[in-house]
Structure 1
Amino acid sequence: MKALVLIASGQLEYQETAEPRMQPNEVLIRVQACAIGEDDVAGLDGGSDLRVPPLIMGHEASGVVEQVGGQVHGWRPGDRVAFESLVYSLEDRQVRAGLYHLADAKKRVGVSCQAYRLDGAMAELIALPGHLLHRIPDSVSFDQAALAEPAALAAHALRLTPPNLNQATAVIGCGVTGLLLIQLLSLAGAAPIIAVEHDEERRNFALDSGADEAFSDDAGVGERIRSLTAGHGVAVVFDTLGRADTLQTAIDCLDGNGVVNVVGFSDTSVQAPLQQMVERQLRLQGSCGVCGEFPAVLDMIARRTLDVDFLQSIKAPLSEGALWFDKLVRNEQKLLKVILHP
Structure 2
Amino acid sequence: MRAVVYRGREDLDITDVPEGPVGPGEVRLEVGFNGICGSDLHEYYAGPIFIPDGEKHPLTGRELPLTLGHEFSGTVAEVGAGVENAAVGDRVAVMPLYTCGVCPRCREGRYNVCAQIGFHGLMADGGMAERTVVPSHMLHALPDEVSLEMGALVEPMAVAYHAAKLGDVNPGSTALVFGAGPIGIGLWFALRGMGVENVQVVEPSATRRAAIERLGAATLDPTADDVPALVNDMTGGRGADACYDAAGVAPAVATALNALGAGRPMVSVAIYETPLETPLLNLVLGESRIQGSLCYTHEDYRAVIELMSRGHYDTTGWVEKIAMRDVVDEGFEALHAGRKMKVLVDPSIAIA
Counterpart selection for 1:252 from 252, 258, 271:
258
**Corresponding residue for 1:329?**
336
Distance of 2:32 and 2:198 partners within structure 1:
39
Whether 1:296 and 2:296 are equivalent positions in the alignment is no
**Corresponding residue for 2:227?**
221
Give TM-score scaled by structure 2 length: 0.88
Q: 1:241 Cα deviation (Å)?
A: 2.2
* Equivalences, count: 334
CA contact (8 A) 2:167 2:243 kept: no
What SS does the aligned partner of 2:261 have?
strand
**Corresponding residue for 2:21?**
21
Q: 1:47 Cα deviation (Å)?
A: 3.3
Deviations 1:236-272 (A, max 9, x none): 1011123333221111111222210111121322232
**Corresponding residue for 2:33?**
33
Calculate percent identity across the aligned residue pairs: 29
Point out the more displaced range, 254-263 or 307-316: 307-316
- From the superposition, tell whether residues 31 and 162 of structure 1 become closer, same or farther in structure 2 (CA, over 3 Å): same
Distance of 1:200 and 1:218 partners within structure 2:
11
Distance of 1:191 and 1:233 partners within structure 2:
16
Q: 1:199 Cα deviation (Å)?
A: 0.6
Distance of 1:312 and 1:119 partners within structure 2:
27
Point out the more displaced range, 17-26 or 58-67: 17-26
CA contact (8 A) 2:319 2:342 kept: yes
Where does 1:83-94 land on structure 2 (aligned, <5 Å)?
Answer: 83-90=94-101, 94=105
Counterpart selection for 1:338 from 332, 340, 343:
343
Give TM-score scaled by structure 1 length: 0.90
What SS does the aligned partner of 1:310 have?
coil
Distance of 2:336 and 2:190 partners within structure 1:
28
Distance of 1:268 and 1:219 partners within structure 2:
26
Counterpart selection for 1:237 from 227, 234, 243:
243
Q: 1:218 Cα deviation (Å)?
A: 5.9
Distance of 2:317 and 2:151 partners within structure 1:
12
User: Where in structure 1 are there 5+ consecutive unaligned residues?
Assistant: 112-116
Whether 1:80 and 2:87 are equivalent positions in the alignment is no
**Corresponding residue for 2:59?**
none
Deviations 1:101-127 (A, max 9, x none): 12233211222xxxxx41221111211
Q: 1:150 Cα deviation (Å)?
A: 1.0
Q: 1:191 Cα deviation (Å)?
A: 4.2
- From the superposition, tell whether residues 276 and 208 of structure 1 become closer, same or farther in structure 2 (CA, over 3 Å): same
Greater share of residues in strand:
1
Distance of 2:149 and 2:99 partners within structure 1:
26
